[in-house]
Amino acid sequence: MTSTSQCCNSPNDKDTNNESTHDVVKDYYGKVLAGSDDLQTNACCTDDGLSTLMKTVLSNIHDEVLTRYYGCGLVTPESLAGCHILDLGCGAGRDCYALAQLVGESGSVIGVDMTDEQLAVANKHIEYHQNKFGFAKPNTTFLKGYIEKLDELNIPDNSIDVVISNCVINLSPDKNAVLKEVFRILKPGGEIYFSDVYADRRVPSHLVEDPLLYGECLSGALYWNDFENLAKHLGFAEPRLVSSRVITVDNDELAAKLEDIRFTSATYRLFKADGLETDAQDYGHQVKYLGTITEHEQAFHFDQSTYFVKGEVTNVSGNQWHTLKQSRFNKYFEFIENDSKHLGFFAAQNQRSEADFHFQIEPQQSASGCCSPAPAKKTSCC
Ligand SMILES: C[S@@+](CC[C@H](N)C(=O)[O-])C[C@H]1O[C@@H](n2cnc3c(N)ncnc32)[C@H](O)[C@@H]1O
């Protein structure tokens, strides 16, 4: 297996290595695991703090789909009515069926996965969910394929409003190809909103080669700073960290193998927009949030450091100004024009540090992680 950081294979070697990584992952999610309880990690225990709406949405999903949930975060971007969504590595379809309710009958959700067993469960329950949601026809489809090769699935350029993904990109042997494809299929102003696993350093190749560590969404994880640089390089100018949660490794054998590398489950949002600069600059731009996003009437928590309070004027970087204007959030803001003089760096967006990821395990978070009580064998997340 190879990681994205290994650069020097010939194209044929690369294809062979990608294939072998895909086979290891297919085997793990298709044959080794029968349900979330078989995971050696704690990351799928992410439903604490669910809103009433999300509790209702999840309660409408078939038990068999819920049992095969292997995600590591909550993937619920705001304001989805009428959106066209694509889920990278949809598995048995939990997030697809959740968001299918939020996009409504005028929207659609496409799930892509490479593992037959996962897709079989997803496909089996299409009609059940259509009836449960009271829709005249299904708004959810599942496609078998590789997230590195969405072109082979005929997903057109600029066709998707929101790409989501939950604990999948870490499993890809070619993260560059995945994000490049995401950039291609997103409409201008569209975003990828996704949860995944990140490491506090580059994971050495002998750990990447370990099928259990890889399948458990640990050793394929990117060093967070490499991820941000990759995203920026591909045109996602300002990666926005929405939330993060430390992953605990309570299995001594696995923990010893991991050589003190710390992992976090983090949700990012990356926007595709025109006219963005390589980093956040301050032109004195300001916006006022109107308080009109459903379930976010008092405040819109855009990311970990950006909180738009209803009726309050907020300073934003030039990039954020352009992003909001081109995105589906445009109608929820008043855009206040200043004289657009350059005022230097927009400090809040140019100072990401390790501390933002909460890599240090807080005493109250250790051992039991997010689940109470934690099963003895649980280790990290996925
Ligand atoms: C950890 S599971 C997460 C599944 C789902 N997102 C969820 O939350 O339940 C990873 C899924 O990604 C799929 N997957 C991993 N790498 C893939 C790739 N390169 N192309 C397509 N699917 C992939 C696997 O088949 C598996 O179903």
pLDDT for 258-286, tens place per residue?
988 999 999 999 999 999 998 889 999 99
Domain-located, residue 372: no
E strand or H helix that includes residue 58: helix 52-59
Q: Which of 1, 14, 25 to mutate to test the pocket of ligand 1 (most atoms within 8 A of CB)?
A: 25
pLDDT of amino acid 183 = 98
Q: Which amino acid is at 29?
A: Y
E strand or H helix that includes residue 109: strand 108-113
- The enclosing domain of 9 has a CATH number of 3.40.50.150
Q: Which domain holds residue 107?
A: 4-275
Q: Give the position, in ligand 1's atom list, of the atom nearest the Cα of 145.
A: 21
Q: List the residue whose alpha carbon is closest to atom 27 of ligand 1.
A: 91
Helix (H, G, I), strand (E, B) or coil at 167: coil
Picking from 244, 243, 247, 265, the residue whose alpha carbon sits closest to that of residue 255 is 247
- The enclosing domain of 335 has a CATH number of 3.40.5.100
168 CA to middle of ligand 1, Å? 5
Residues 103 and 216 in one domain: yes
CB-CB contact of 230 with 179 (8 Å): yes
Residues 193 and 321 in one domain: no
Picking from 217, 152, 181, 172, the residue whose alpha carbon sits closest to that of residue 17 is 172
Number of domains in the chain: 2
pLDDT of amino acid 8 = 40
Q: Give the position, in ligand 1's atom list, of the atom nearest the Cα of 113.
A: 22
Residues 270 and 285 in one domain: no
Residue count of the chain: 382
Domain-located, residue 336: yes
Domain-located, residue 381: no
pLDDT of amino acid 49 = 72
For the chain, percent helix, then strand, then coil, each to nearest 5? 35, 20, 45
Alpha-carbon 290 to chain mean position: 27
Q: List the residue whose alpha carbon is closest to atom 25 of ligand 1.
A: 115
Q: List the residue whose alpha carbon is closest to atom 12 of ligand 1.
A: 89
| CB neighbour class for 43 (10 Å; exposed up to 12, middle 13-18, buried from 19) | buried
147 CA to middle of ligand 1, Å? 9
Q: Give the position, in ligand 1's atom list, of the atom nearest the Cα of 172.
A: 19
Domain-located, residue 138: yes
DSSP state at residue 345: B
Ligand 1 is surrounded, with C-beta below 6 A, by 22, 25-26, 29, 69-71, 89-91, 94-95, 113-115, 118, 146-148, 166-168, 171-172, 217, 382
pTM for the predicted model, two decimal places: 0.91
pLDDT of amino acid 81 = 98
Q: Give the position, in ligand 1's atom list, of the atom nearest the Cα of 94.
A: 9
Residues 127 and 241 in one domain: yes
Residues 210 and 245 in one domain: yes
pLDDT of amino acid 361 = 54
pLDDT of amino acid 16 = 78
Residues 48 and 152 in one domain: yes
Distances (CA, A) of 170 to 82, 217, 269: 29, 6, 16
Q: What are phi and psi of 70, to 5 degrees?
A: -125, 30
Residues 292 and 313 in one domain: yes
Q: List the residue whose alpha carbon is closest to atom 13 of ligand 1.
A: 89
Domain-located, residue 126: yes
Residues 255 and 286 in one domain: no
110 CA to middle of ligand 1, Å? 14
pLDDT of amino acid 377 = 36
Residues 315 and 251 in one domain: no
Distances (CA, A) of 18 to 24, 146, 171: 10, 11, 11
pLDDT of amino acid 48 = 61
Could you say which of 250, 275, 300 is where a domain stops?
A: 275
Residues 289 and 269 in one domain: no
Q: List the residue whose alpha carbon is closest to atom 4 of ligand 1.
A: 91
Alpha helices in 106-241 (DSSP H): 116-124, 126-133, 175-185, 205-208, 211-215, 224-233
pLDDT of amino acid 33 = 81
Domain-located, residue 369: no
Could you say which of 260, 275, 290 is where a domain stops?
A: 275
Q: Which of 171, 178, 196, 219 to mutate to test the pocket of ligand 1 (most atoms within 8 A of CB)?
A: 171
Picking from 352, 292, 350, 290, the residue whose alpha carbon sits closest to that of residue 318 is 350
Helix (H, G, I), strand (E, B) or coil at 103: helix
Could you say which of 275, 305, 334 is where a domain stops?
A: 275
pLDDT of amino acid 298 = 97
Q: Token pair for residue 103? A: 């996009």
Q: Which residues in the chain show pLDDT less than 50?
A: 2-9, 362-382
Residues 285 and 169 in one domain: no
pLDDT of amino acid 351 = 67
Helix (H, G, I), strand (E, B) or coil at 130: helix
Domain-located, residue 244: yes
Alpha-carbon 252 to chain mean position: 28
pLDDT of amino acid 43 = 55
Task: Find residue 230's DSSP bridge partners.
Answer: none
Task: Find residue 270's DSSP bridge partners.
Answer: 192
Q: List the residue whose alpha carbon is closest to atom 22 of ligand 1.
A: 113
Q: Token pair for residue 296? A: 């976010």
Q: Give the position, in ligand 1's atom list, of the atom nearest the Cα of 70.
A: 9
Q: Give the position, in ligand 1's atom list, of the atom nearest the Cα of 26.
A: 25
Domain-located, residue 357: no
Q: List the residue whose alpha carbon is closest to atom 20 of ligand 1.
A: 146
Number of alpha carbons in the 13 Å side-chain half-sphere of residue 287: 25
| CB neighbour class for 145 (10 Å; exposed up to 12, middle 13-18, buried from 19) | middle
Residues 257 and 344 in one domain: no
pLDDT of amino acid 252 = 82
Q: Give the position, in ligand 1's atom list, of the atom nearest the Cα of 382.
A: 1
